[in-house]
């Protein structure tokens, strides 16, 4: 990732990228103690200029925000906001170490939607130490909502972190979640990039369950798709861009 926090740097990067026939970019960063990504106000102005002057597709991570920032995001014209919907107080406080509750996550998501922002909820299966628990509650929240895309992520036990000893959720539990997502949610369902490697068996199961897209599918998944007569539509964009 490139640091574009100083004034003018995002606009410069975006125009250079567009000049080289680039498709888009992701504006992201780490969250602070409040759960918000520290986005300088001028970033929203530069996004707006890039949307006015180029055809770049711009995806934004914002975390938890208040009404002022939500309004700035809306006015910027950003194409998508990727939003991690964590709907469990214990997970928020003991895993994310935020003094926040699930209502803060829901309130931010709904405020952005009400301001006309195209929000793409991300559900991270197994975030609470490899267990699936609150994820079904998140599906309940999203059920009936007019949301274009929902992304499923899966815990990666990363070496050198407190979670290296935890396994990802069992495949059967992930499939129970995925089947509910397809049954209850209206829009596209995508398996995102955050998931354990060498997961073609799971990728194929999710496609069979009705998922519409897989980020960076394995070679075995691609071979299976071809063998089944599927047409593969390859897109060099973020998971939430359709």
164-1-75 Cα angle (round to 5): 115
Q: What is the pLDDT of residue 95?
A: 94
Sign of the torsion formed by the C-alpha atoms of 78, 31, 185 and 169: positive
Q: What is the pLDDT of residue 82?
A: 97
Q: What is the pLDDT of residue 238?
A: 80
Q: Where are the domains of the chain?
A: 1-73, 79-232
pLDDT by 10s per residue, the chain, length 242? 899 999 999 999 999 999 999 999 999 998 889 999 999 999 999 999 999 999 999 999 999 999 999 999 999 999 999 999 999 999 999 999 999 999 999 999 999 999 999 999 999 999 999 999 999 999 999 999 999 999 999 999 989 988 899 999 999 999 999 999 999 999 999 999 999 888 899 999 999 999 999 999 999 999 999 999 998 988 888 877 77
Q: What is the pLDDT of residue 100?
A: 96
Q: What is the pLDDT of residue 124?
A: 97
Contact 29/38 with Cβ under 8 angstroms?
A: yes
pTM here?
0.94
- Assign domain 79-232 to a CATH class: alpha beta
Q: What is the pLDDT of residue 65?
A: 96
The residues, ordered by sequence, that sit 6+ positions from 183 with a Cβ below 8 Å of its Cβ are none
Q: What is the pLDDT of residue 201?
A: 95
N- to C-terminal Cα separation, the chain: 22
Q: What is the pLDDT of residue 139?
A: 97
Distance of CA 237 to the CA centre of its chain: 13
Query: Number of H helices and number of E strands within the chain?
Result: 9, 7
């Amino acid at each position: 990732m490139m640091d574009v926090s100083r004034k003018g740097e995002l606009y410069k990067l975006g125009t250079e990228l567009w000049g080289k026939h680039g498709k888009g970019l992701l504006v992201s960063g780490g969250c602070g103690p409040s759960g918000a990504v520290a986005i300088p106000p001028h970033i929203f102005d530069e996004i707006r200029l890039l949307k006015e002057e180029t055809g770049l597709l711009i995806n934004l991570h914002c975390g938890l925000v208040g009404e002022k920032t939500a309004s700035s995001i809306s006015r910027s014209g950003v194409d998508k906001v990727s939003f991690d919907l964590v709907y469990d107080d214990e997970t928020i406080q003991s895993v994310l170490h935020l003094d926040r509750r699930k209502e803060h996550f829901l309130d931010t998501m709904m405020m952005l939607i009400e301001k006309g922002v195209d929000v793409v909820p991300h559900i991270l299966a197994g975030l609470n130490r490899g267990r699936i628990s609150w994820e079904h509650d998140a599906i309940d929240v999203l059920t009936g909502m007019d949301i274009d895309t929902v992304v499923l992520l899966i815990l990666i036990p990363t070496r050198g972190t407190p979670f290296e000893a935890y396994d990802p959720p069992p495949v059967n539990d992930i499939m129970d979640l995925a089947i509910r997502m397809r049954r209850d949610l209206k829009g596209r369902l995508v398996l995102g990039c955050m998931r354990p490697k060498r997961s073609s068996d799971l990728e194929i199961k999710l496609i069979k369950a009705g998922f519409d897209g897989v980020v960076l599918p394995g070679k075995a998944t691609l071979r299976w798709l071809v063998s089944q007569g599927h047409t593969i539509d390859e897109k060099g964009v973020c998971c939430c861009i359709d």
